[in-house]
Structure 1
Amino acid sequence: MKTLDWSALMRAGLVQLRLSPEAFWRLTPAELQLMLNLEAQNPPMDRDRLSRLMAQFPDPEHRAVPAPQSDLNTTE
């Protein structure tokens, strides 16, 4: 479940949107997000966007890394 940052939402609603406290508390979180245009800024990533990002920023090839040598098993 996603938690809401109520203090930030209250500042945005009361200061940025200049809503009255009564109008603010009558809104649903979804309505407030729409009024603040938050949905348009962070659309969920889809498979196509992920594929484009993976092509743009490929992971380096995996190379076998030798295991570190331990001094515990050496015989003198």
Structure 2
Amino acid sequence: MTPFPWEAAMRFGFGVLRLSSEAFWKLTPRELAAAWTAIAGERITPPARAGLDELMERFPDGR
């Protein structure tokens, strides 16, 4: 059996979620897993080249 990854869980809870120690230690494992899944499931993909070109045209750097 693999031990629970406490170090990774604490880095995620404190670093990503920015929880206080009190809030982190009150979480159940299921709540922590749900937060982890919610963050990891929302991967942001960059726009395709055409989308990037459109944004650059609409919002140019400088004038």
Q: What's the TM-score once normalised by structure 1's chain length?
A: 0.45
Higher CA-based Rg: 1
Distance 1:7 1:24 in 2: 13
Provide runs of 4+ in structure 1 moved above 3 Å: none
Higher relative contact order (CA 8 A, sep 6+): 2
Q: Report the RMSD for the aligned CA atoms in angstroms.
A: 2.1
What is the number of equivalent residue pairs in this alignment?
40
The residue number in structure 2 matching 1:30 is: 30
CA shift in 2, pair 1:2/1:28, >3 Å: farther
Q: Unaligned stretches of 5+ in structure 2?
A: 42-63
Distance 1:28 1:2 in 2: 19
Q: Unaligned stretches of 5+ in structure 1?
A: 42-76
Q: Does 1:15 align with 2:50?
A: no
Q: Specify which structure has the higher proportion of helix.
A: 2
* Identity among equivalent pairs (%): 50
